[in-house]
Structure 1
Amino acid sequence: MPRSLLYERLAERLRRQIRGGTLRAGERLPSLRRLHRDQRVSLATVLEAYLQLEREGLVEARPRSGYYVRAPAASAPRALTARHATRSPQPVRNPALLGVLDVLGRRDMIPLHAATPAPELLPTAALAAATARALRRDPGAALGYAVPQGLPALRARIALRYARCGLDIDPDEIVVTAGAMEAISLALRASTRPGDVVLLETPTYYGLLQAVAAQGLRVIEVPNHATTGIDARRVAELLQRHPVRAAVLVPNFNNPLGSLTREADKQALVAACAAHGVVIIEDDLYGELAYSGQRPSPLRRYDRDDAVVTCGSYSKMLAPGMRIGWMLGGRRTAQLLRAKCFTTVATATLPQLAIVDYLSRHDLDRALRRLQRALADNAQRYRQALHEHWPAGTRVSSPAGGMALWVELPERIEGQALFEAALAHGIGTLPGHLFSSRGDYRHHLRLSCGLPWDARVETALRTLGTLAERLAADRAR
C-alpha cells in the first residue's frame, strides 16, 4: 500500500479522536516510536501523519517534548480562503513590481516587510569572528577570486547537509551563487528562451516574478493553497494544455502564503513535470525553517529523471548579507556553470571562507533550533495580535515554517491603501498585489515575523489594526 495512503489513514484516525474529544486540548500525543510500534507502520509514516495534522492546526510540535493537541481556535483568526482563476500564458504585467525596491531600501521603519530574520536571531558574533579568522589566515586568498563553481570545502558542506534529508548529492554538481535569486535566475536563463511559458504558483514571491519578467517569459499560474500547498492535480492539467518549458516552485513554506506542499503531491509534481519534459526550478530557501524542527523533503528527493534544479541559500538561516547560495545542477551543471561564468564570474571568496570556518567550529543545528523556536513563537504572537487588534473578517495564514504571514483583509480594505498608511507611520508591510503576475490579491498584505516579539512590534501591529479600521470606516461612509 502506498505510504501516502497509510499516513492519510493514520492522520484521519487521530483527527477523529481529536475532534471527538478522545484526545483533549493540551494532551501529549503518543511518541513517534510508540505509534510506529502500536500501529505497525514506519516512523516516516507516523511523522508524515503528525506533520499533516500540524499543517491543519490540530496539533503542535514542542521542541524536545513531542506533539500535543492544540487548543480549539475559538480566539484565532479565521482561515484563509482559496480564490484563483487560471488565465492563459501571458507576460508578467504588474507595474507595482518596479517600485518595490524603493521600500526594501528604506531603513527608517519597523521592517515588518522584510522576510529575513533579525540579526539577534542569527549567530552574528560567531560569523563575524569566522570572517576575521578567514581574512587573517590568508588575506590574498580571501580577497582574490574563488573558482567559479565555488570553494570545494563549501560545496562539500552543502552536500553533507542534503544527505541529512536522504539526498545523495555529489559536491561536483553544486554551483555556488550570490544568493538563491542568482541561482534561480541562472537556472531560468539556462533552461528557457524569451517567449517560453513558465509555470509559477500563486501567490508567489515577487522576486520570482521579477526574474521571469527579466527573461521575457510568459507565465501560467497554478493555485497554492494555505493548508495543502501547490495543487498537483491542477499542475498536471495545465501541463496537458500548455507548452510549459519550466516550473519555478516553492514547495516548502512558500513566500508569502507559508504553505507546505504535501509529500505525496511533491512526488506527483515531479512525475508530471518529468513526463512533459518540464524543468523544475525549486526554490528551497525556507526548507530548513520548519517550526517542528523536522525538515520537509525538497522536490529533488523524488527526482528520478534529472528534472529538478534545487536552489538554496544560507541567507535565511545564517547571514542574509553574505549572499551565499547554490544550485544542485545534476546533468545541467556544466551549462549552469557556464551561465555563472558569463555573468558574475565567481561568488565572493571571503563569505565562502567565513561560512566554511563557521560550520567547522559550530553546530548549525543548534543555531537553527534557536531560530525555528523564535520564528514559531513570533508567528503565534503576531497572529494573536491580528485577531485582537485588526478588523473583524481579517484572515491570516497559519504557517508551519518560514517567516511570512499572509493576511486577507475584509473586502472594503485595499492592501495598497493600508501599505501606504503604514508607511506614513514608519511601518513596513507589502501589499498583496506584488505577489501575482497580474496584480491580484488586492485585499491582501504580507507581513514578516522575522522580528522578535517586543513592545515595538506589538505597538506596530496594534497601529496597523487601527489604520485598517479607519480605512474600513472611510469606505463605509
Structure 2
Amino acid sequence: MNLRGERQAEFAYQAVYRYMISLINEVGLETPVKLPSLRQLSTRLNVSISTIQYAYSLLEKEGRVYSVAKSGYFAWPVTSNPLMAPGGDLLERLYAAARRPRMAVLSGDEPALLGALDGTLLTLERQLIRRYPRHLQPWSQPCGVWELRAVLAARYTSSPTRCWQADEVYIGADLRGVLEILIDVLGLKGTTLIVESPCDWLILRLLQAAGVRVIELPWKADGSLDLMSFEHLLRHEPVQLVLLSSVVSLPSGVAMSVQERLHVAHLLEQHGCWLLENDSYGDLAFAAGQPALRNLVNPERLIVFSSFDKTLGAEAPFGYLLSRHLSSELQRQFLLRAFRLSSIRQRAIARLYQSGRFDQHLQTLRQRLQEQAEAMSQRVDARLEGRVTYQPPRAGASLWLQSVATVDMRQVFQRMVAQQVVIAPGELFSLAGLHHQHVRLSHVFNGHPNLDVALDALALAFQQAQIG
C-alpha cells in the first residue's frame, strides 16, 4: 500500500523528522537502539540543536522513541510491541503501531504541525540571551517566570470582576505535570467528578490513576449537551467539580450555544459546583467571538488549565493553570516538583504574546486548520459515503467519525494497522465504555500520506468489521 504523496516545502524540523524515521527504519529493532545525540545530529545535519529537539519531541509523542535521563534517546524494539494482542491495552497498541516503521499516523491531534513558531522562538531566545546572560535561574521562580505569568493573567482578564494576577498563574513542565499537581492539591481521590465525554485520554487516565470517580456526560448526536442529565447528576450525585471545555470540546469538535452556556453557568452556581475548565483548544476555534465558559461562571469557583503546545508546537511544551485559591499549597507543590523550566524560553513566549505575533500566528493557524478540515471532510464524504456520520468540527485538527453500521472498531483498528495506517478508536476517549462506534481521524499529520488510499482502506475495514 503506497501512502506517500508529493512532498511540499517543509521546515527544517520536518526534514530532520524524515531523516530520523529513515534512520530508525534502517536498524534492526530486536532490542532498544540508542539514537544519535542532539549535538551529534546538529553537527551531522547542520541545523540547530533546538530543531533536533523538536523533531525528537514529535517522534516521542508518536511513540517511536523514548528518552532516558542523562542517556539520550532510544528507538523502541518492534518485536516487543503488544500490537497483535487483541485483548491488550488499546492505548498501548496504538502507541506500538505508531512507532512502527512506515506508518501513516492519522490518530493524533497536533494542530501546530500546520505552522509552529519554532524559528521565531529561537530568534527571540538569541536576543534574550544577550540581554539576560546570567539570569537562567530555574530554582528562583518555581511557578514560572513573572513575565509569562503576567502576560497570561492579562490575556485571561475580561472585566474588573473577572481578572487575574500574575501570582494566580502557575506554569509547569507540561500539562501532565500540572494536572497531577492539581489533582493532588484539590484532594480528588475518592471524590466524584463530572467530565464531558468524549474526553482526552491523558486527562481520563490521570483521573483514573488518582482514584477519582468519573461520571461521563456524553455529547448528544446533534452536538448539544444533555442539560437534563447534567441537572439530574448535580441534584443526585455528590459532585463538587465539573470538567468542561472553554469553547469547543474535542475530539467531538462541538460547542455549546450561548444559551446552553448560560444554563450550565446557572446550574453550577445553583448547586455550588466548581468549574475546572479545559482551555487547551480555546484559541483554536475556527469562528471568532465565541464566549468562553469561564466568562459566564462564578470566578470564585473556577480553575482553568491549558498548555502552549497545541498552538506553538513541541518547542513550547509547558502546561499552566489559573486559580485564585489554594495559592500556598499550589506554590508548595510546584516548588517540590522542582520543574527545571527554561526561563529564556518562557520569556520568548511572553514576547510572542506582547508583540502581537502570537495573535497573528493564531489567525493564520486557525484559517489553515479550517481549510484542512474542510478538505478532509470532502474526502471523507466521497470515500466513506454512507458509512460514517459526523459533526463538522469547529476547532482543532481532527474529525470525530461515527460508524453508521455496528462494527467491531478494534477490528477496524487492527485492519488499518495491517494497511500501515493508525487511527484512534473512540473507546480510548471514555472510561465508561462509550464511543465504541466512533473513531478520531486527524487531518494534520507528519508526512504526506495518500489520503484517498487510506480512506478507501478505512471504508473497506468498516465493511469487513461489520457485526450482524
TM range (shorter): 0.7 to 0.9
Whole-angstrom CA distance in 1 between matches of 2:183 and 2:171 = 16
| Runs of 5+ consecutive residues of structure 2 not aligned to the other structure | 1-87
**Does residue 468 of structure 1 match 2:459?**
yes
Instruction: Name the counterpart of 2:332.
Output: 338
Aligned to 1:267: 262
1:181-192 mapped onto 2 (5 Å cutoff): 181-192=176-187
**Partners of 1:228 and 1:262 within 8 A in 2:** no
2:397 maps to 403
The residue number in structure 2 matching 1:300 is: 294
Q: How many residues align?
A: 380
Look up the match of 1:43.
none
**Conservation of the 8 A alpha-carbon contact between 2:172 and 2:339:** no
2:169 to 162, 167, 174: 174
Equivalent residue for 1:309? 303
Contact 2:403 2:437 in 1 (8 A): yes
State yes or no: 1:324 paired with 2:315: no
* Unmatched runs of 5 consecutive residues or more in structure 1: 1-93
- Return closer, same or farther for 1:467/1:230 CA change in 2, 3 Å cut-off: closer
Shift of 1:473: 4.0
Question: How much does 1:393 deviate?
Answer: 3.0
Counterparts of 1:153-172 in structure 2 under 5 Å? 153-163=147-157, 167-172=162-167
Residue in structure 2 matched with residue 444 of structure 1 by the alignment = 438
Offset at 1:98? 5.3
Judge which range, 126-135 or 235-244, deviates more: 126-135
Q: Distance in 1 between matches of 2:428 and 2:377?
A: 22
2:120 matches 1:122 = no
CA distance in 1: counterparts of 2:108 and 2:348, whole angstroms:
24
Q: CA deviation at 1:228?
A: 4.3
* Counterpart in the other structure of 2:191: 196
Find the residue that maps to 1:377 and give its secondary structure. Answer: helix
Deviations 1:191-223 (A, max 9, x none): 234221111111111111111112111111112
1:430 counterpart = 2:421: no
Residue 77 (structure 2) aligns with: none
Report Cα offsets for 1:130-157 as digits up to 9, x if no partner. 2333344434433643501211110111
Q: TM-score, normalised by structure 2?
A: 0.73
CA distance in 1, matches of 2:263, 2:467: 46
Relative to structure 1, the CA distance from residue 474 to residue 395 in structure 2 (aligned partners, 3 Å threshold; closer, same or farther) is closer
CA separation in 1, counterparts of 2:381 and 2:191?
Answer: 43
Q: Judging changes above 3 Å, is the alpha-carbon distance between structure 1 residues 184 and 275 closer, same or farther for their aligned structure 2 residues?
A: farther
SS in 2 for 1:238: helix
**SS, match of residue 284 in structure 2:** coil
Pair 1:105–1:282, CA change in 2 (3 A): farther
Q: Give the superposition deviation at 1:412.
A: 4.1
Identity across matched positions, percent: 23
Tell me, yes or no, if the aligned pair for 2:246 and 2:294 is still in contact at 8 Å: no
Shift in Å, 1:470: 4.5
What is the Cα deviation at residue 116 of structure 1? 0.9
Indicate conservation of the 8 Å contact 1:418/1:468, yes or no: no
Amino acid at match of 2:123: A
| Kept in 2: contact 1:251–1:266 (CA 8 A) | no
Cα distance in 2, alignment partners of residues 474 and 175 from structure 1: 47
| 1:300-330 C-alpha deviation (Å, 9 max, x unpaired) | 2123251110112221111234212221101
Taking the aligned partners of 1:265 and 1:475, their CA distance within structure 2 comes to 36
2:245 to 250, 256, 281: 250
- AA partner of residue 204 (structure 1): C
1:445 CA displacement? 0.6
In structure 2, distance between residues paired with 1:104 and 1:280:
35
1:47-196 correspondence to structure 2 within 5 Å: 95-97=89-91, 99-102=93-96, 108-142=102-136, 144-163=138-157, 167-196=162-191
Question: Residues 460, 374 of structure 1: CA spacing in aligned structure 2 closer, same or farther, 3 A cutoff?
Answer: same
> Under a length normalisation based on structure 1, what TM-score does the superposition of the two structures give?
0.72
Instruction: Supply the distance in 1 between the matched residues of 2:159 and 2:393 (Cα, whole angstroms).
Output: 21
* Separation (CA, whole Å) in 2 of partners of 1:348 and 1:104: 30
Matched, 1:278 2:269: no
* Letter of the structure 1 residue corresponding to residue 237 of structure 2: H
Question: Is the alpha carbon distance of 1:328 and 1:415 closer, same or farther for their aligned partners in structure 2, counting shifts above 3 Å?
Answer: same
Larger deviation, residues 462-471 vs 217-226: 462-471
2:234 paired residue number: 239
Q: Counterpart amino acid of 2:212?
A: L
* SS across alignment from 2:250: coil
Deviates further, 212-221 or 370-379 = 212-221
